[in-house]
Amino acid sequence: MAQLQILKYPDPFLKTTASEVGIIDAEVLSLIDNMVETMRKGKGIGLAAVQVGVAKRVIVLDVPDERPDDESGEEAPPYVRGKNLVALINPEIIAAYGSTKFEEGCLSIPGITADVERAEEVTVRALDRNAETIEISTGGLFAIALQHEIDHLDGKLFIDRLSRLKREFIKRRIMRAIEAEDKAL
Ligand code: CO
């Protein structure tokens, strides 16, 4: 396994629309393994192939179990990295319900988070690494992460889902940070 370089905004490749995977060959399987490694090292909960410069419809996710409601008195399940690991090929949202807001971040836009509105529940159809068709119906953070990663395959970042005003504000902030970095000694 190898760690891949994660492209950072404003890299133009992040606007790429990825192509469907035809055959799940050794190259695709090794891409998945390398993406899992890269996501783990980056401490992310999801990663799309476009973020590592590959225009293929492949995403990996490892979304932690969510805390039960505070009133329930239950303890939060321990966060075990890799426990909920999934790799999806040609993922497609086939149903979406409701709407929710969540403060999202992205490995391609380090240090920036913003509230993004998305569907509350989704059903995603995809192929797994054995070329079996799977369907995932879920809500919560997993549903948000699925929508975020599938957006990457269509060249869309979470900041593209914000109002124009907010997006321009965030873009200016990022560009200022990049300029400051360039001048740093
Ligand atoms: Co992202």
Q: Cα of 118 to ligand 1 centre, how many Å? A: 14
Answer whether 0.85 is exceeded by the pTM.
yes
Burial 95-130 (b: 16+ CB within 10 A, else e): eeeeeeebebbbbbbeebebebebbbbbbbebbeee
- Enter the tokens of residue 154: 């269509």
Q: What per-residue confidence (pLDDT) applies to 76?
A: 64
Q: Cα of 30 to ligand 1 centre, how many Å? A: 21
Question: Quick check: 114 and 158 in contact, CB under 8 A?
Answer: yes
Q: What per-residue confidence (pLDDT) applies to 18?
A: 98
The C-alpha atoms of residue 67 and residue 77 are separated, in whole angstroms, by: 7
Q: Which of 146, 148, 119 has the alpha carbon at shortest distance from 135?
A: 146
pLDDT of residue 140 exceeding 70, the answer is yes
Q: Cα of 105 to ligand 1 centre, how many Å? A: 7
pLDDT of residue 134 exceeding 70, the answer is yes
pLDDT in tens, 51-64: 999 999 999 999 99
The C-alpha atoms of residue 65 and residue 85 are separated, in whole angstroms, by: 11
Q: What is the DSSP string of 120-146?
A: SEEEEEEE-TTS-EEEEEE-HHHHHHH
Q: Cα of 67 to ligand 1 centre, how many Å? A: 22
pLDDT of residue 170 exceeding 90, the answer is yes
Q: What per-residue confidence (pLDDT) applies to 66?
A: 79
Q: Cα of 47 to ligand 1 centre, how many Å? A: 6
Position 119 confidence tier, pLDDT thresholds 50, 70, 90 = very high
The C-alpha atoms of residue 177 and residue 134 are separated, in whole angstroms, by: 41
| Strands annotated E in 33-173 | 46-48, 58-62, 85-97, 100-104, 114-118, 121-127, 133-138
- How much is the average pLDDT of 118-144? 97
Chain-wide mean pLDDT for the chain? 93
Q: What per-residue confidence (pLDDT) applies to 173?
A: 93
Q: What per-residue confidence (pLDDT) applies to 70?
A: 61
Active-site position among 74, 121, 149, 168: 149
Q: Cα of 147 to ligand 1 centre, how many Å? A: 10
* Residue 22 DSSP class: S
Position 65 confidence tier, pLDDT thresholds 50, 70, 90 = confident
135 classed as catalytic: no
Q: Which amino acid is at 73?
A: G
pLDDT of residue 126 exceeding 90, the answer is yes
